[in-house]
């Protein structure tokens, strides 16, 4: 705002030192060249419009900075979630392998116990037949 006030004072000073007034049509600007400097004469509406555009530009810059911060935050959160996901996948694979190996061990143990039960049943049957038979044979022989 201070720059615009300074610009207005410079324009007034340059116009009052022998510059001839000229008509500015709506929507147009006038370029005044004084030696090495160039000044632009603007209407009040044009000045207000340029101030509004400058403020909008500042707001847009702030929003860009805010969005860049949000992007960085989301990227870091995504990286953390990916790391956690990888850890959980490793844990899942480890426990799945443990589950499969314990299931195989249980299957082997069940097969072994079935075969042991079958053998025990055969031995029991042989004992039930063999002991009385041996007793009878022993009684007959002696």
**Structure token digits, residue 52:** 């509004």
Lowest mean per-residue pLDDT among 9-18, 88-97, 106-115: 9-18
Instruction: Name which residue leads in pLDDT, 9 or 83.
Output: 83
Q: How much is the mean pLDDT over the chain?
A: 81
| Whether the Cβ atoms of residue 73 and residue 80 lie closer than 8 Å to each other | no
Domain ranges of the chain: 1-42, 45-116
28-32, 48-52, 55-59, 66-70: least confident range = 28-32
Closest CA to 41 of 19, 59, 61: 19
> Residue 62: pLDDT above 60?
yes
What pLDDT does 142 receive?
72
Question: Taking the CB of residue 43, how many other CB atoms lie within 10 A of it?
Answer: 15
Angle at CA 112, nearest 5°, toward 108 and 114?
120
Does residue 71 have a pLDDT over 60? yes
Rounded mean pLDDT of 108-113?
Answer: 82
């Amino acid at each position: 705002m201070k720059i615009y006030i300074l610009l207005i004072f410079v324009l007034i000073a340059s116009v009052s030192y022998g510059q001839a007034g000229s008509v500015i049509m709506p929507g147009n600007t006038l370029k005044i060249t004084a030696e090495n400097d160039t000044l632009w004469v603007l209407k009040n509406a044009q000045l207000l419009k340029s101030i509004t555009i400058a403020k909008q530009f500042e707001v847009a810059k702030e929003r860009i900075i805010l969005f860049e911060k949000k992007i960085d935050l989301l990227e870091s959160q995504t990286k953390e979630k990916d790391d956690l996901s990888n850890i959980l996948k490793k844990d899942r694979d480890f426990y799945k392998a443990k589950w499969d190996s314990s299931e195989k061990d249980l299957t082997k143990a069940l097969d072994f116990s079935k075969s042991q039960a079958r053998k025990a049943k055969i031995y029991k049957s042989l004992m039930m037949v063999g002991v009385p038979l041996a007793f009878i044979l022993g009684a007959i022989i002696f």
